[in-house]
């Protein structure tokens, strides 16, 4: 078991190194994203599913502000279809704080249930609205591994509409 755990840990480290190179994210930025997402997950409102999810977005810096990290969590409702995903919650919070011009450099998703949880289809499209195909996405896979990918890989035929 120890060997298996070591292998998983080493694989996760190798994967993080690859992610850092590919996205130009620092290890510190990746760690901060996961920390903030995990903190947010502890505030999850999920009395029905008990699936506690957190997400944190890293915003691109601009002339007005440094790249900030903003987190969100899932919020369920007795009328299930009104529930909000953690990813959308984080993006809404970021817009409330920094305005409609935010751009997403990366997003990390975690859950406290030890389950795999890639962003759902609706969240992929929401991430695209404020990100791009290059936006880095980190999410938990089975076996506790963190998967790194890009939004372009998760949503290859995205719906786009010209903005006026
Ligand atoms: Zn979702």
- The domain in which residue 92 lies consists of 2-154
Model's pTM, two decimal places?
A: 0.86
E strand intervals along 95-135: 104-111
Is the residue at 87 inside a domain?
Answer: yes
Question: Which residues are the active-site residues?
Answer: 87
What is residue 113's DSSP assignment? T
Is the residue at 149 inside a domain?
Answer: yes
Is the residue at 164 inside a domain?
Answer: no
Q: Residue 144's domain is classified under what CATH number? A: 3.40.140.10
Is the residue at 161 inside a domain?
Answer: no
Q: 119 CA to middle of ligand 1, Å? A: 5
Q: Which chain residues have CB less than 5 Å from ligand 1, an ion?
A: 85, 120, 123
User: Which neighbouring-strand residues pair with 59?
Assistant: 104
Task: Give the span between the Cα atoms of 18 and 26, in whole angstroms.
Answer: 11
Q: 97 CA to middle of ligand 1, Å? A: 21
Is the residue at 163 inside a domain?
Answer: no
**pLDDT for the residue 93:** 98
Is the residue at 12 inside a domain?
Answer: yes
Integer Rg of the chain from CA:
16
Is the residue at 37 inside a domain?
Answer: yes
Is the residue at 130 inside a domain?
Answer: yes
Tens of pLDDT, residue by residue over 13-68, are 555 555 555 568 999 999 999 999 999 999 999 999 999 999 999 999 876 667 89
């Amino acid at each position: 078991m120890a060997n298996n755990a070591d292998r998983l840990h080493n694989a996760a480290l190798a994967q993080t190194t690859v992610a850092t190179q590919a996205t130009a994210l620092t290890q510190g930025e990746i760690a901060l994203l996961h920390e903030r997402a995990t903190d947010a997950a502890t505030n999850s409102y999920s009395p029905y599913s008990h699936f506690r999810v957190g997400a944190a977005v890293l915003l691109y810096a601009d002339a007005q502000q440094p790249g900030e990290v903003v987190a969100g969590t899932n919020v369920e409702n007795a009328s299930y279809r009104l529930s909000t995903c953690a990813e959308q919650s984080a993006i809404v919070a970021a817009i409330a704080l920094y305005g409609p011009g935010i751009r997403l450099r990366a997003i990390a998703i975690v859950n406290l249930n030890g389950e795999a949880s890639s962003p759902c289809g609706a969240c992929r499209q929401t991430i695209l609205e404020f990100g791009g195909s290059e936006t880095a996405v980190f999410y938990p896979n089975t076996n506790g591994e963190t998967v790194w990918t890009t939004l372009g890989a998760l949503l290859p035929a995205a719906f786009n509409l010209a903005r006026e």
